[in-house]
Amino acid sequence: MQPKNTKFCARCGVQLKPTYNKTTRFCSIRCSKIVPIEIRFWKRVIKAGPGDCWPWTGNHLPSGHGMLGLSRKTIYVHRLSWEIHKGSIPEGLHVLHKCDNGSCVNPDHLFIGTHQDNMDDMMKKDRHYRKLTKEQALLIRELGNRGMNSVQVGAYIGVKRQTAYAIMSRRAWRHLDLCV
């Protein structure tokens, strides 16, 4: 009879030694690398309808893009999705998102393009930081001094609340204090 806490390797089924910690899933590093990348990929994807985003539930970078470790390298999972579904990515090109959701791996939401294509797409979809004029920054400060909060000021000027707050709290546009 086996003890109640007996664990087995997720890949080969060998019984794990009792000294392994609770989170250990494989009997060895070699055994864990045998799991095909495609199986590791699909374990962390919520596959919804064909037109919906398929979110990656594994690790993410601060940018929101999903990632997967392979042989001590980080792989972007949207690039892996492209390679699984559509083939190799030509040298020097990027895999871009139509849906602007960095964790989406739906191949119908992905397309190939250059860095410039990505920048043009960002500008077209208004995902860039708008360059403010000195007058707009002064107006943000003035509205803040009149009692409006950063959410209200941001909505009024057309910037993110974080931008408005940074200007109102003098973390951004500090040089305006010297000009006035």
pLDDT reported for residue 28: 66
pLDDT reported for residue 119: 85
Round the average pLDDT of the chain to a whole number and report it. Answer: 83
100: left (phi over 0), alpha (psi -120 to 50) or beta: left
> Which residues, in sequence order, are bridge partners of residue 55?
104
Identify whether residues 80 and 30 lie together within a single domain: no
- Across the range 166-179, mean pLDDT stands at 82
Of 79, 103, 124, the residue at which a domain comes to its end is 124
Range of the domain at 74: 38-124
Model pLDDT for residues 93-123, shown as the tens digit of each residue: 999 999 888 889 999 999 999 999 988 888 7
pLDDT reported for residue 139: 93
* Number of domain units in the chain: 3
- The structure's pTM equals 0.58
CB count, 10 Å around CB of 101?
Answer: 17
Candidate ranges 43-47, 61-65, 107-111, 120-124; pick with highest mean pLDDT: 107-111
